[in-house]
Every structure is written in structure tokens, then in C-alpha cells.
Structure 1
Amino acid sequence: MENTFNNIIIEASLYCSDNIIIEINKEFIDFTGFTMNELLGKSLVELGAILKINSQILLENISSTYSGYIFTKSLSAREVNISLSHNMVTNKKMYTFVEKTNSRLSDKLIFVEHSFIDNISGVAVYSIPDLILLKTNQKYLEFMASPFNKEENSLGSPINEIIAGFIGSPSEDIWNTVVETQKTSYTKEFEFNDPIKGITYWDFTKIPIFENGNIKYIYEISIEITEKIFKNRSIHNQGKMIEQQKEQLEEQNTRLINIIENLSEGVMIADNKGKIIMTNLEAQRLFYQSDKVIDLGEALKNAKAFDMKGNEIPFKNFPSIRALNGEVVKNAKIFVSHPNKEYFEEISSIPIYNTNGDLTMAVSCFHDITETIEQSKKIEEQKNLLEAIIENIVDSITIFDNKGQHILLNKSARELYFPSSEQIGKIGDECTQSEFYNIHGDKIDLENAPARVIRGEKFKNMRLTVKSPNKTLEIDVSGTPIYDSEGKFNLGVLCSRDMTDYFKHEETIRTRNEFLNRIINTLGLPVIRLSCPDLKIVDINKKAFSFIKLLLPNVQSTNQIKDDRAFDLFELSRKLISSYDYSFLVSLIFVDSPIFSA
């Protein structure tokens, strides 16, 4: 702790400025065992934590001198006098540490040193009066809860921090009594409620150690006897405990049976010989048809089981029997026929083993899926019906996924797009057998239509020309995207209709009208074309319009009278002009051989 140089004693000391360590002498390093790098730059609080003195006093709170304990790097306690000098000019503080003479525990307690080394019983030394832990062995620390089960976390700490729940406990009262009476205390079978470990039992011996007639330390020997106490419990108490456990098990068993009995699924438990231990009501209804204790062979005697393909299941292949042979059976669907009723069931059976790995029982769970199967059949029938309708519908229907892969093409679609092959793959394969042209006669790639649908576009009445080796068709195509519940594209539908005959008929009508219009224009006849049956004006040529202007001078263009009824038009003109002029003009129109077409 101190060196002598030219008869000058150099004490262990350090300097700080603004509570930060800025200088440490060699004597302090030699005394504590710490290195310069471990201490320089640390705050006084951090240094106090390193020296484990903060539980006694904070270094910055020392005004002049203080006597207490610090701990070296090797966790050895040192009783020291700490003095403080403050240079007001430089604002530096110097702390000097002087070890008290003959104060080391290894010298004072040499007679019990072996107990720390033997580690048979837990031993510890506490300071008086603040009960700081100064020395201990590993056995003593094993009784402590984490993190105080390690020396570096417990040494230098007061007992009320080390022992959980110490304050206000009977243990605190015992310690206070030893300090006050300064007499050895023997505590047998002391019950301590540890918040972590629960109830534990101890034998304690607390021995005061005096120095110059005053109590200086308390040396404690602690032995945990919890296991011994439990072993020494009376047979009556053990029997009572066993009886209580038995009652609890019976209560739990009753509760478990009630739960199993009220499950919506059937439950059957059989031992490793096939004898039924327990079945609930649902299992009896679905399969076993009896509440008597029987074996699996008797239970299955009046019932027949079939797989979903209609093949009868032999007794040895029944799920419960397979489980007794060590096999795990999950979600086996079967059809069970009883003399009075038939069911579809889903069965899972598992083997149960004891701790030695021996199979002791099999547990089977039954679930009535008759309604689900019947519903599935209806759905399948509806699906087949829908597919038949789609297959035979006149329009061609094409359904594809988000990758452009065909999912469904009805008969009309196959005949339209794949007239010479049954191989149907992705959208665009149609182009290998037919060529497609838009309304302007430009050749196009049919992949463009599905791509538009996949992008979320909905379109109607896109006119295309399809040229295959044997025929040319005029079709009308509409596309619709279908989304899933998350709004993502799921499927695309293309509906195509063969409009060849319609467009030919329309072309014929258009040709006839053009021919008729040429005749009319050539002859210079006034013509008004009316719709039927409402007789609205659809079209009017120049000759007829010139007559209309005589009746209605305010009419400047044909657009003003289109979609008007002819009767209303003449009725209006009759009101606007005199009776004589009206009759004259109307007769003039009809006398000049006008042509009205509807």
C-alpha cells in the first residue's frame, strides 16, 4: 500500500478533476491490483463500483476522511482509511488510501481459513455494523439467487441486497439480535421463504468476532437441510399428502372424463391387448354401439368398414388395430355400415408408450364427416353440371390463370381456336393453327387480349377475323378479369362469339341500302326513312329536306329533325302556317311521288 523512498512514505493515491480520474500512482496500482487502463478516465461512481465501496459511501460524498472496506481485483477485502485533499486553485481532488495495520481477514481468521477452502458448509464473514459481505466460499453462494451466486456480484454488498426478502423477515430479526446481544446464535430448521426457490430449511450458526473488546465481524455457518426435513416428515404427513394427491388425481380424472364425454368428436381408448378402456357417447354412436367394456374384435363384429373407393377394410387394417401395432394413422376417411345406420368417418389413431418405451394403449378419435361428404357430392354434381353447361354453350369460353395457362376451354373454344389439334397449352398457342386480324385487316397476336385482361382491363365486343386452314370466321371477343379476396388477379375469362353469319347479313342489308340510295339519288326522289313501329325519322335526303324547310322554315339542318316522329313534325307545321298553305304543301309533297321507307 505504501512505499518508502529516502525515508518518505508514499501512500496509494489518485487524482480526479470534475469527478473524473486523471492520475493514479504506482502504489495504488500495486495495492488494488488493477491496471491504469482499467481506472483512468473513470468517474468516481464507476471507481466506487470497481472497488465495491458504493454500498458504504460514494467517494464524492467524502468530505475529509472515511474508514471502510474496498476490494482488490482478486476480490480480497481491505480495510482502509480514505482521506481527501482538495486543491481549490487547480480544482483537483486527491484521494489517499491507507490500509489499517493488521486488518486483513486472512491473518485474523486463520483458525477458520480451512472452512473457506473445504467448501463443505457455507461460510461467510460480514462486517459490523452495516453487515457488508467481506468473505465467503462457493458453497455459501450456491444458496443465493442469481446474480448474487457469484463472488464478483455479492462481495461488498450488504446482506439485505444479497438475500432476497431479507428486510422484514425473521432472518433479519435474528441478525439484529446477534448484533445487539453480541452472543453466538444457533438456529435449527429455520424456515425461509425464498421468492425464487420457495420454502427452504436451514441450520445457522452466527458467531461474533471481537477486536479490542468490540464486536468487529460476524462469522456465519449455514447448512441447508431442506432435503433432510422433507425426508424426516412423519409417515402421517406423507400419507396425508399422498391422499390429497390421490383426491386431486381423481378430481382431474373425473374432469377429464367429463371433457371427453362432451367432446363433439368420438374418443376411444384401448389397452395393448385390444380391450376397450373407455369410449365416449359420440364414439359409441359412430362405431362401437355399446357402453359395455368389450374388446375391439367384439366392437367391430357387427359393423363393416370400407375405404373411400368402396373396398372393405380387413380387421387388421382398421386404424385402431394399426395403432396397436405401433403405427400412427392420421385422418383416415372410411365408410362404416351398421345394421341400423351408415356413416362417413374420419379417424386418427395413435399408439401411447410408457417411459420404458413399451406400447401401453391406443387412442382413436372419430369425426362424423357424413354431411361434409354429402355436401361434397352435391358440389361435385353442381360442378359437373356447370362444366356440362359451359362445355355445350354456343359461345366459346376460355379461362386462363395469371401465367396465361389455359385452365378451361369449352367445345366451341376448342373448335374455334384449335380446329386441328387436341393439344392445349398456354395462351398464344392458338396462333400456331389460325391467324387473327383486327377490324382494319391488320394481323395481330391473340396474346394481346389475355395480356389486357391480366393487367386488369375489361373490354367488350372486340371484332376479329380468324383465318384457319379450312375456314374464315368473324368473331366478337369480350374479356373479364377475376380477382381473389385480396384484390389480386386470379383468373381471366375470354368469351368469343361467332358473328360470321350476322356480319354477312349486315353486309347484305348495307349493300341493298346503298343500291336503293343510288336509285333514289339517280331519280331525284324525296325520301324519308322512318323507324318501325314508332315512325321516327332515321334519315332524310336533300330532296325531302327541301320540302320540310317549306313546312318548317326554322329548320336549318337534318340533325334538328332526326329522331322526331313524322306525325309530330307535320302536326307542328300545320299549326305554324295557314290551312290553305299547309294543304297545298302537303299535296305538293305527295303529288311529287315522295318515297317513305321504314
Structure 2
Amino acid sequence: MGNGEKSLPYKSKKFKPYVIVKDGIIKKVSSNFIKLINYDKQEIEGKSIEEVFKLIRIYPEVDENDLFGKKEYFIFDSMFKVRVVTIIKDEMKKRGEYVYTFIERNKKYIRQKLSFFERIQFYSDNSLGIAFFSYPDFILLKANKNFYKYLYESTSKRENLIGKKIKNEIEANYNSSFWGKIWECILKTGEGYNVKEYRHIKSNGDTAYYNIQITPIKEKKEIKCCIVSIKDITDDVLKRKELERQASIIKQQRDELEAIIKNISDGIAVVDKELNYELLNDTIKEIFYDFDSIKRYGDSLKNTKYYDKDGNIISFENFIGCRVLRGERIENFLQIIKRPDRTVYVSTFGSPIYDKNGEIAKAVLCFRDITEQINYEEILKTQMEHFYKIIDSLELPLVRITYPDFVIIEMNKRAKEFIKEIVPRFHMNLDMIKEDHILKYFPIDYKKEETYIYILEMEKNKNPVKIENVEIIKKDKKIYSNLIFQPILNSSGEIYEILMIIIDITHEVEEKEAIAKLLKMQGEIFSFITHEFKTPLSIISAAVQAMEFLCKDELSERAKGYIKRIKQSCLQQLRLVNNLLDIVRADAGYLKVYKKNIDIVKLTRYITESVSIYAKQKDINIHFISDTQSKIIAIDDEKYERILLNLLSNAIKYTQPKKNIFVNISTIENSICLEVKDEGIGIPKDKQDIVFQRFGQIDNSLSRSCDGTGIGLCLTKLFVDALGGRIELISNEGKGSSFKIYLPDFIIELEESKNKQTFEDSRLIQNVNIEFSNIYCD
């Protein structure tokens, strides 16, 4: 402290910035101190001295025992302007009060440096980040916006940065070991440091590149401060790296291209305007004779002749390379090269290369050796000629046709005869129809959709196609033919010709038509007979019913027995006639289906209960099972009734007493399943395929004891098919059979009156009596 200064410091210090502190709290602030730090008086008084030191960002940290005015401190006002001060602490008269006097030092020096900083910033690039730091502590004194942006990307407010050590801040955001070496080097050598293309990964993951220059500012060979400049060169570096990458790719592609050209199966040559070879790959050695003697374009003419496809010799002026250098583009030009040792066939391509002035600089030539292909085609041509000689002697009409135009090339003898018969005007001169469209002589249009599908199929699969039942008028008579188109492929696997084969199927068609007429006549006769049977049966049945109703008291028991047998026989014959009529209708396509929405569970239970009396007469137990109480589906109830009655009739007929029959309704996915399962005699495996055939019966002792025609299950399957369902059979001989019928689960939209569910009792009773008329086994 000062010597014996117990009151306010002497008058010469009165106007210095000071604060009076008691018990660590600031009690009074001088106006000059307020001017020094540029804060309001209210912001200072009442705060602790430590809080004020922190507010003005004093550096280095204040040691209360070393405030004798010798040590310099950096402080920052509210506008972040830096000041260099010394601090003297004196005790006042009042006990416990101290005065802290702040004496600004080197004000001119600081102003000079900051002015220097402003000039650097003014004359520098707008993208340059510049900062002014103290030395050797590297405390940030001042910086422009770009510096904050580059170096402190994660910090948004500069008041958080002024007065802090750059070392701590940079190492928090950048590679600490790298920057530690820089600080160490500057402190050790006192020289500047330049970092080129420093690679920095930003917080968002992007990569940035900076040039960083740290320049010490010396005064009398002593470093007083440092200027740090940062320039973002990311765009320049990325562009350079992209150019380097592209150059690397181009070099790699060039190397790959050279390797490809060298090993490619085609011969490649590059010729300049002076007719010098710039490039010849290895493959071309196989094309040129005495390759080692060839130095310039045209040297091969010494011992080799060149011909075009027509056999004309090719002069040097018309060589491919010369033509290309004149600006032509050559594609697939056939050259026949006659060397002293052999003949080579070459398909040649050529293209000019232009310089930057648009003038032809080079010619790129490609030579493809097709000798093997030409030889193969010659062999194939010879074989085809032999083949055509063979087919000319065949009895089948065969016509050679071009593809894709379908123009006649040639035809064999039998085809010529055929054409003469269907096109009389060509009787004298068949050559008139050559080069004409073959299909114009047949009543089909290959451009129509139906025929065109066949043509497309042949083009796609390269397989023969057949157009069936083509009607042709031959000598005023209708005949039928199948036309077969057999594609002929070239060495490349492409269709180049078609062989059309004409097969006369008139005899087969006439036979089928005769059989169809016979079957139709048979059906008509069958229908007529069954109708004729049904009429007297109906009369007999009506007469029997009248006798039972009107004369029952007058008839003896014996007579009643005869009437019962007559009635049963009538029902049996009526059952047979009805079944036959339904089969005839099905064969003729007249089996009609009338669907309505019905509760299939209720209907099935109703039908099952209606036949229980027949099961009881044979001492057979019949059980109805359903996994749901109600299920509405669209169905023809009359057809369904006939199906179920037939299955139940068979089950009762072929099941022995004391056994069981099960009727089960269940829902399976989008179907309703009806199962009729019995414990009867079963069906042998080798007979299970015929039970659904017409008149298919199982020959065993029990089946022989019960009457049957063998058409019941056939008709059942017809009905199931008509309802859009399917039927399955599982049977074990001696154990019983299970018939499963799967019907589609859906409903239809109908009017209220039509949608009403009704069961016709009279029809069901009649159908039960008819279906069960042949069950009288003892």
C-alpha cells in the first residue's frame, strides 16, 4: 500500500479511475472509472470486486497481495474495447475500506495497434478472418465477423469470446495436439507460422479447408502482440481435388481403354492425317500378313489384295482409312482380304476424329474377322440347298417365306399343286405368285389380333406356331387345313426365313362333325324317349294316387300291397327319367341355375330331418353337425336339395344297421363345406375314379342287393359344377365313405320379394319320395 495514505488518495490521483470497497463490496465509483469501462454506475455499485473483475474480463487473474501498480492487466469495456491498466490497492482511514485505483497504461500503443488492425482489415480480402491477440497469453483483443465465423462456428455471441485465450477456444473446436505444436513453436522461435490447407470437420459434418497465418508484431525485437488471419479456401481446394479426381479417372479410363483396345477381339487401328499408324492392337496382327513389315497405312498392299463383297478390287484411294480421313463414316463394310496364305473376310467400321478447330485429325478403324461366320454360312447354305431338295420331294405342301414380309420364295411340288387347286388363275404360271404375300391366298389376316399373337409368339420364342382349322375353298369344295410356321434361324440366332407347312385335316374335321351330329341326334332321341316315358308314368302315378284316395276302403290288403308296389315302381322310373332328362339338359347346355340367398344351415338341417324316417327303418343313426347356427349364401335350393338327397340316399342304401351317418356344415376360407360321411361298405380305391362317371356302379354283394342306375353321382357332380363348387371323395373299403362338397360363400343382390327365404315342403316331400323310392332293403 501507499505510505500512510489513510484517506482518499492525494489530489493528483483524485481524477484517476477508482472504486472504494468495503468488506469486498463496492461502495463508491468514480466518474472516470465509469468512463473507463463504459458501464452504468448502477451496474457497478453494490457488486463485489470479484464480480466487477469478471464483468470487465480482467486478465490475468488478480492477486490481491500484488496490487502495487507494477503488473499490467487487460480489461474490456462494455463495447469490448481493450484497455491496459495497472491497479494500486490502498487502505483508507476508515477501517476495512480500500480504494482500487486503475491507471491506464500504453494507451497510445494500444490505439496504434488497433488502428493497424483496422487498416489490415480494410485492405484485406472481404473473406479474410482477422484477429488481434496479446502475447504471450494469446488473449483475443479484437476480431472481425469472418474470424468468429471460421474459428468459433459453435459460438454465436462475441462477448463470450473477447478476453479469452485463443489456445483454449481453438483446441475446444479443433485438433488440440496440432494447435499445441503451433503455439509451442511460436513461443519458442518468436517467428510467424503458416498453415496451408488446414482440414477441419465442422460440427454439421461438412469439411472445410483454411489457410491460417499467425504473424507476431514486434517492437524493439520484442513480440508485443499477434495478428491471426484465416482464409476459407474450401471452394478452391474442392475444385482442385475434383479436377485431380477427374484427371485420375481420365488416366484410369485411358489406361483401361488402352488395355481393352490391346486385348479386344476386334482389330483396332488409329491412323493420322500423314497415314501413320498411331495405334495397332494385338488382334490386328491376325488380319494383316507379315505384320512386322507394316509401318504406314497401305503397306499391306505389297502382298495382299483387297476386294469388296461383289468381288471388285479396292484401290488405295478407296481404302477405308482414306475414305474416313475424307470425312466418311463407314459401317459394316465387307472386305475380302486375299493374303498369300489364306483369305480373310473382314467387316470394317471407320469414324473420323476431329481436333479443336473442327478439322479431321485421325481415323479410328475397326476390323472384325468374320471368316468363320462366312464359312459357316456357306456350309449352312449348302446344307439348306440339300434340305430344300429333300422337302421338294415330300408329300406335304411346304412353302419358303421371307421374314418379316411373308413373301413367297419357293415352294415344293406338292405346294404348287395345292396352290393351283385353290387359285385356278395361276394354273399355267406359278412364278406369277412369287414375291407375293403368302397369306393372301388363305382366308386369314396375319395382322388381325388373333393371328398376330401367333406371329409375336414365334418372334419371341423362335419356336414353330400353328394356326388351326383354316377354311379353304378348293375346287368349289370346303377343306380344312392346319398352317404350321417353322422359323429358320441364321448363325446369330435370328429368324431370316420361315417354312410354312400345310396339313390337310379335312377328313378329321368331317369325322368330328359327323360324330357331333350323331351325338346331337342321340341326345334328341334320348330326350324324346325319356319324355315319352315320363308321360305314361305320370298318368300311372296319378291313377294310383286316385285309387288310394277314392277306393282305399274297397280294396283288400293284398290289392293295397300291389298298389304300393306299383307306386314305388313308378317313383323309381320317374327318378330315372328325371335324372336322364337333367343329364341331357346338361350335355346340351340347358341346365339352368336359379340362385337366391338361402340359410344353408337351416336348409341342410331341414333336408336331413326329412329323411330320418328312412334311416330309422334301417336302424341307422343320422347326425347333423354345424359350426355355425346360421349362414346365408346364394344358392339354387332345388339343385342343392337334389345333391344332398342323392348323397343321403346312397349313404342309407349302403350302410348296415346299427351304424352312423354324419351330415356336417362348416366354413372354410371363402367356401361352405358340406360333408356326408357314412360307416357303410366303402368304395375300393380302383373304383373311386368311376363313381362320378355316367352309369358307373360298384359291383359288390350289398350294391347288387339295392337297385341303382349308376347315374346319381354323375348328376350330383353336374349339379355341383353348375353351382360353381367342387366335390371330393375319401373312402376306405369296409369302413365307409366321405363326400365333401365345397360351395362359394357369397350372396347376391335381389329384390325384397325375391330375396325372401322359402322352403317348398311339397317339392321336398316329392323329391324325397322319388329319391328314396329304391330303398327297400331288408
Structures share fold, TM-score greater than 0.5: no
More strand by share: 1
Which structure has the bigger radius of gyration?
2
More helix by share: 2
Q: Could you tell me the TM-score, scaled by structure 2's length?
A: 0.33
Q: Could you tell me the TM-score, scaled by structure 1's length?
A: 0.41
